[in-house]
Amino acid sequence: MTLRTPLICLALIALAGCTSTSGNWGWYVIDPTTPAGYNNIRFLLNGFGATILLSIIAAALSMTLGLIVALPGMSANRWIRLPSRIYIEFVRAIPLLPMLFWVFYGLPVVLKSFGISVSIDAFWGAIITLAISDSAFTAEIYRSGIQSINKGQTEAARTVGLTYPQTMRYVILPQAIKRILPPLANQFIYIVKMSAFASVIGMQELTRRANELVVTEYRPLEIYTLLILEYLVLVLIISFFVRWLERKMGADESK
């Protein structure tokens, strides 16, 4: 498998660091056999919960928002299509980090000027940003999945009397879902990785915790190595799930 090479490289680097006497590596900061190292590891791993929760909520919102944007985007009427197109082009053009700052610092001000007084904490600020930013991509995934279904299917459905919602529900979506789910699951990996940006607004997730530990321990190499491994494990678990999903869908298609 393609993953083997980078994993071996990582293991070799880690080994070299452990055995080196030159003092470049200081694994003691995350050595589970010492009380201090054990506490540090626990501190770092405690970020998993927030990263996972953040990603799951953001992904769920993004998938819902994406479908709401995608459906009018496929209308034959250009005026119905237009808002969807504008949304996608606009959102896709905004880099994640500036958008995060805007939502976290700016959005409460905007809302307040409309008389809505809500404070947006780091958790929801990150979720809103990730969900909106990602929804432009999920919308395109829905669109390409639905449009990949032959037009003849819609025509046949209409000739046997189905309405548009019925055609979507009983004919188009059951076929399109096989093409939509794998890229959608892939998009989830993107969200997990981008959730690291939440650290800059103070969200206590994996990256934030690593940063805080680096500040007190001053061992960035070891701590960030572990941080990368944390994301690697998370992403690997998701990609195995994606593979499984693809195999399952593929098997269904040949039936």
Partner 1 sequence: MSENSPAITISGLNKWFGDYQALKDVDLDVAHGERIVVCGPSGSGKSTLIRCVNSLEAHDSGTITVDGIEMTDARAVEAIRAEVGMVFQQFNLFPHLTILQNLTLGPIKARKLPKAEAEARAMAYLERVRIPDQAHKRPAELSGGQQQRVAIARSLCMEPKIMLFDEPTSALDPEMISEVLDVIVDLAEDGMTMIVVTHEMGFARRAADRMVFMDQGQIIETGTPEQFFTAPKSKRCQRFLSQILQH
With vertex at residue 101, the alpha carbon angle to CA 95 and CA 103, rounded to the nearest 5 degrees, is 95
Residues numbered 171-210 forming contacts with partner 1, rule: CB under 8 A: 171, 174-175
Question: At its nearest, how many Å lie between partner 1 and the CB of residue 167?
Answer: 10
Q: Does 64 bind partner 1 (CB under 8 A)?
A: no
Q: Which is nearer to partner 1, 90 or 164 (CB)?
A: 164
Among 6-14, 104-112, 162-170, 198-206, the segment contacting partner 1 (CB under 8 A): 162-170
Question: At its nearest, how many Å lie between partner 1 and the CB of residue 237?
Answer: 30
Question: At its nearest, how many Å lie between partner 1 and the CB of residue 249?
Answer: 12
Q: Which is nearer to partner 1, 98 or 174 (CB)?
A: 174
Q: Does 255 bind partner 1 (CB under 8 A)?
A: yes
DSSP 193-251: HHGGGGGGGT--SHHHHHHHHHHHH--HHHHHHHHHHHHHHHHHHHHHHHHHHHHHHHH
Question: At its nearest, how many Å lie between partner 1 and the CB of residue 156?
Answer: 4
Say how far apart CA 232 and CA 184 lie, in whole Å: 19
Q: Which is nearer to partner 1, 81 or 193 (CB)?
A: 81
Q: Does 160 bind partner 1 (CB under 8 A)?
A: yes
| Residue among 39, 29, 59, 54 nearest 187 (CA) | 59
Q: Does 152 bind partner 1 (CB under 8 A)?
A: yes
Q: Which is nearer to partner 1, 166 or 204 (CB)?
A: 166
| Residue among 23, 22, 20, 26 nearest 226 (CA) | 26
- The set of long-range contacts for 71-80, using a CB threshold of 8 Å and a minimum separation of 24, is 71/142, 73/139, 73/143, 74/143, 74/146, 74/147
Question: At its nearest, how many Å lie between partner 1 and the CB of residue 119?
Answer: 47
Tell me whether residue 30 is exposed, middle or buried, using C-beta atoms within 10 angstroms of its C-beta: 0 to 12, 13 to 18, 19 or more.
buried
Q: Which residues bind partner 1 (CB under 8 A)?
A: 150, 152-153, 155-163, 166, 170-171, 174-175, 255
